[in-house]
Chains A and B, each alone.
Chain A
């Protein structure tokens, strides 16, 4: 994979372009005119509280949800449902501990799991799986059942599963949601390394932006179905977020953390507060 490592060049085409995507489900507008682009090898955080439309947006990018308006261009290819240049790690994967499947078997499925026929054991295949195990620091539990691994370990296996097909974009839906702080930090470090060393763009959704601040190149902030995109300095500003929420909010920098605080009378303040976002940490 190292042969693809090359410096990010300004004129390299975007690996993902989301253009004016609007999605309405059940008469409710989930996403409204969302637009942003992702450069190869960059690290982007998709930030928003629960119900902001993060998962819907990811489903649109994956081609699982057709947008009402707008389009998604993946690696220069629009309209192709289910693009192979995307690796995907869904939220909350339940793996049965009784299932006879080792971590390396699951990673192997990432290579050709969508193809018909049985997998033929080969040296190339084995060495590719070993390479992926090494890339996510999972050699230690390569031969353990996936179902009995811890949340952070399973997350690594799933990332390797997504990486082995050599995607140009890695999508992760709330990968930090069920992890303790340390495992979360490790996963973020791993993803950052993948983005820079392997030149694979990472788009990661989260409701908390602080853990991502050190590694994020760009941020896509979702609120009320609308999005603001840019570098953190461009987006995480009082006037930008106030416009997005349609209500005055204040962005505070305390030490190296960012807090987003809703002004008085925000209609959804109760909901924001429940997510740790009304006194919004995200």
Chain B
């Protein structure tokens, strides 16, 4: 047993908190991620993570709970992106990029002020790359509450969102109001990004959002099955990542653990690569599809 799980893993409270928050966050990210991927909004999703970086660093500066900063500013960011037209395909990447650039600039400023005005160290590292082992157990209820809000919102708009994604014209003809539905999705996305920023760091949270969903969509054909697969992949990657990070403390003699986020991101990436293998095997047995 000790080859896999180092001593104290199951009795450590930080580990319990990390597993709980990581698991909950992985579920929300995977569910929201499915729609992010099929709507082709990976870039928008990633941009929100950088917006939430600015939020987290601002919250740190003001002495607030970083989660509120993460979620608060990514909500503002999603509203801004909707305003300058990320719903339209044309010019969407550009508008997104501008928001992205400006928010990174803000993050740079806030992080600088964090390190110079507040005599705390570790803000940059904690905000950008997360520190799931140092989370306060008191965060758990807040995380769960926001997760429920995000999932409920997603459930409410599920069908019109799906229709709007598949064919905006058909959806509009059937009375779906595209803009509110798109905006509602962006808000759910913002909350989910804020949550995963807390877990694995703001600039890495894209991994939990996109990775499991993209892998699941390559493995299954139906949306429902993809949702379940994505959730399973996300939770597995997070938990194994937490375990490996915990174990890594005992690797070598320096007792300098590896970052949790690295393991989660690396696992997610490997799963995505592996998910392409069945498809590739099928592709070699049958000729390429028609252009």
Please name all residues of chain A whose beta carbon is closer than 8 Å to the beta carbon of B287 when the two chains form the complex: 24-27
**Known contacts A25-B287, A26-B289, A56-B291, then 8 further A-B pairs from the complex at CB < 8 Å, ordered by chain A residue:** A25-B290, A26-B287, A27-B286, A30-B290, A56-B290, A96-B90, A96-B91, A98-B91
How many angstroms between the C-alpha atoms of A26 and B291 in the bound complex?
A: 11
Cα of A38 to Cα of B286 in the assembled complex, Å = 34
Q: Please, could you name 24 A-B residue pairs with CB atoms under 8 Å apart, sorted by A?
A: A24-B287, A25-B287, A25-B288, A25-B289, A25-B290, A26-B286, A26-B287, A26-B288, A26-B289, A26-B290, A27-B286, A27-B287, A28-B290, A30-B290, A55-B291, A56-B290, A56-B291, A59-B291, A65-B291, A96-B90, A97-B90, A98-B90, A98-B91, A98-B94
**Chain B minimum-CB-distance residue to A59:** B291
- Which 10 residue pairs of A and B lie closest in terms of their CB atoms, listed nearest first? A25-B290, A26-B289, A26-B287, A26-B290, A98-B91, A26-B286, A25-B287, A27-B286, A96-B90, A27-B287
A24: chain B residues at CB < 8 Å are 287
**Beta-carbon contacts of A49-81 to B below 8 Å, as 1s and 0s?**
000000110010000010000000000000000
Separation of A245 and B128 alpha carbons in the complex (Å): 64
Q: Chain B residues near A96: list those with CB within 8 A.
A: 90-91
A1-36 contacts to B, CB under 8 A, are 24-28, 30
Q: Number of A-B pairs whose CB atoms are under 8 Å?
A: 25
Interfacial residues of chain B within 239-291, with CB under 8 A of chain A in the complex = 286-291
Residues on B with C-beta less than 8 A from A65 are 291
What separation, in Å, do the CA atoms of A59 and B291 have in the docked complex?
10
CA distance A96 to B287 in the complex (A): 34
Residues of A within 8 A of B286 (CB): 26-27
| Shortest beta-carbon distance from A34 to chain B in Å | 16
Q: How many residues of A contact B (CB 8 A)?
A: 13
Contacts of B94 in A (CB 8 A): 98
Taking CB as reference atom, which chain A residue is nearest B289? A26
Nearest-neighbour CB distance to chain B for A86, whole angstroms, equals 18
The interface bits of chain A over 244-281 (1 if a CB of B lies within 8 angstroms of the residue's CB, else 0) are 00000000000000000000000000000000000000
State how many angstroms separate the Cβ of A267 from the closest Cβ of chain B: 21
A98 to B90, CA, bound (A): 9
Measured in the bound complex, the distance between the Cα atoms of B89 and A96 in whole Å is: 11
A97 neighbours in B (Cβ, 8 Å)? 90
Enumerate chain B residues within 8 angstroms of A98, measured Cβ to Cβ: 90-91, 94
How long is the Cα–Cα vector from A132 to B57 in the complex, in angstroms? 58
Shortest Cβ distance from A64 into B: residue: B291
Across-interface contacts of B290 in A (CB, < 8 A): 25-26, 28, 30, 56
A30 CA to B291 CA, complexed, in Å? 11
A65 to B290, CA, bound (A): 10
Question: Within 8 Å CB of A28, what residues of B?
Answer: 290
Chain A residue at minimum C-beta to C-beta distance from B287:
A26
Q: How far is the CA of A56 from the CA of B91 in the complex (A)?
A: 31
Q: Whole-angstrom distance between the alpha carbons of A27 and B289 in the complex? A: 9
A65-B291 Cα distance, complex, nearest whole Å = 9
Residue interface bits A95-122, CB-to-B below 8 A is 1, else 0: 0111000000000000000000000000
Find chain A residues with CB under 8 A from B289 CB: 25-26
Q: Which residues of B contact A26 (CB under 8 A)?
A: 286-290
Q: CA of A55 to CA of B290 in the docked complex: distance in angstroms?
A: 11
Q: State how many angstroms separate the Cβ of B43 from the closest Cβ of chain A.
A: 17
Bound together, the chains give a CA A25 to CA B290 distance in angstroms of 6
Question: Which residues of chain B are within 8 angstroms of A30 by Cβ–Cβ distance?
Answer: 290
CA distance A65 to B91 in the complex (A): 32
How many Å from the CB of B287 to the closest CB on chain A? 5
Which residues in A have their C-beta under 8 angstroms from that of B288?
25-26
Please measure, in the bound complex, the distance between the C-alpha atom of A96 and the C-alpha atom of B91, giving whole angstroms.
Answer: 8
> For chain B residues 78-95, which have a beta carbon within 8 Å of chain A?
90-91, 94
Within 8 A of A (CB), among B85-135: 90-91, 94
| Cβ distance A177 to chain B, nearest Cβ, rounded Å | 17
CA distance A27 to B288 in the complex (A): 9
In the complex, how many angstroms separate the beta carbon of A4 from the nearest chain B beta carbon? 34
Q: How distant is the Cα of A28 from the Cα of B90 in the complex, in angstroms?
A: 35
A62 to B: closest C-beta gap in Å: 12
Contacts of B291 in A (CB 8 A): 55-56, 59, 65
In the assembled complex, which residues on chain A have CB atoms less than 8 Å from the CB atom of B91? Answer: 96, 98
Q: Which of chain B's residues has its CB closest to A24's CB?
A: B287
Give chain A nearest CB distance to B232 CB in angstroms. Answer: 31
Which residue of chain A has its CB nearest to the CB of B90?
A96
How far does the alpha carbon of A24 sit from the alpha carbon of B288 in the complex, in Å?
A: 10
Residue picked from A25, A30, A56, A65, most chain B C-beta under 10 Å: A25
- Shortest CB distance B75–A (Å): 28
> What CA separation (Å) do A97 and B94 show in the bound complex?
14
Q: How far in angstroms is the closest Cβ of chain B from A41?
A: 30
Tell me the bound Cα distance from A98 to B287 in angstroms. Answer: 39
Residue of B nearest to A30 (CB): B290
Whose C-beta in chain A lies nearest to the C-beta of B91? A98
Give chain A nearest CB distance to B40 CB in angstroms: 15
Compute how far the CA of A97 lies from the CA of B288 in the bound complex, rounded to whole angstroms. 34
Interface centre among B287, B288, B289, B290 (most CB of A within 10 A): B290
B59 to chain A, nearest CB (A): 36
Query: Nearest chain B CB to A119's CB is how many angstroms away?
Result: 26
List which B46-102 residues lie within 8 A (CB) of chain A: 90-91, 94
